[in-house]
Structure 1
Amino acid sequence: AFLVSTNPPQHDRRYFTKDRTRQSRSRRRTISHKSSSLPSATSQPYKRQSFSLQRLLAITESLTLDQRDPNPLPLTLFGTSLLTHIADLTHLHLLTINPHLTEPTLTCNAPESLIHHLATHLQLDLAYFLHHDPQV
C-alpha cells in the first residue's frame, strides 16, 4: 500500500510490469540510489495519495507473482486473501477507506519506519520501486 500511495499512477507500468528489461532496471536502480542519497530525498517524507483498490491489487499481484510457480493462486498473499489483509490493515488503522460513490479509495497511514522495517524483513528493496521526482 505504501508503494501504491507514494508512486504516481502514470509510473506503474515502469515499475511493476513483467516485461521490464534488465538494462532499464539496472539504470533505474542506479538513479534511485543516487537520488535517495541526496539529503532532500531522505529528509522529506513521501507525499501520500489516495489510490483505488484495483490499483493496489494489481501492484501487489505483480510484486508477489512467483515466476517459478506456474499456477499461482490469484489475489492471495502468504496463502491468505488480499482482501483479508486489507481488512486487517484497516482494522489496525494502517489503511483508511475513503468511501466515494463511484469507487472507494484507500490511503496508507503506516509510518515510514514501519514500512522500512517490513521491507528489510521481506528483503524488498524499496528504493528500487519508489519513484523519485527529479524536480523535488
Structure 2
Amino acid sequence: MDYNVLGGKLNRGLAVVESYKLLKAGSEPSEEEEFLACILGWGIEWLQAYFLILDDIMDNSQTRRGKPCWYRLPKVGLIAINDGLVLRSQISRIFKRYFHGKPYYVDLLDLFNEVDFKTTSGELLDQITTSEGQKDLSKYTVDVYAIAT
C-alpha cells in the first residue's frame, strides 16, 4: 500500500473531498460527512493503485512515479498481481465498514464496480490494439469494442 498508493499527487481523492464541500452549497459538512468523503477519496486512490499495478505488468513498464514498478522489485515479481487484487478487494471491505447502512451504500458499490468494469474494458481494448509496444488502431473496430464492453 505504501509503495503503490502513496507517492502520487492524490488528486483524485482530494478532488472527492473538495467536490463534496462544493456540493454542500455553502454549508459546512459535518465532521462525519467530511470523514466519509475522505474514506471515499481513499477508495478512489486505492482503485487507481490497483489499476496501475496491473497496467504496469501488462505494459511491461519499467518505472512508475520515478521508482521501479512494483512488480519489478526483486522480492515482488508477479506476486504484484495478487497485491493489486488485494488493494481492490479491500475497498469493498472498507466501504462496508464505513458506509454499510447508509442509503447510498449499494449505489456506491455499483459505481465502483462500473468504474472497474469500464477501466478494465478500456485496458482490454488497449491490449488488443497494441502489438509489441506498437499501436495498431486498425484493430480497433466496432466489433472489438462490442466484445470488450
Structure-1-length-normalised TM-score: 0.29
Structure whose residues are more often strand by fraction: 1
Higher relative contact order (CA 8 A, sep 6+): 1
TM-score, normalised to structure 2, is 0.27
Greater helix share, structure number: 2
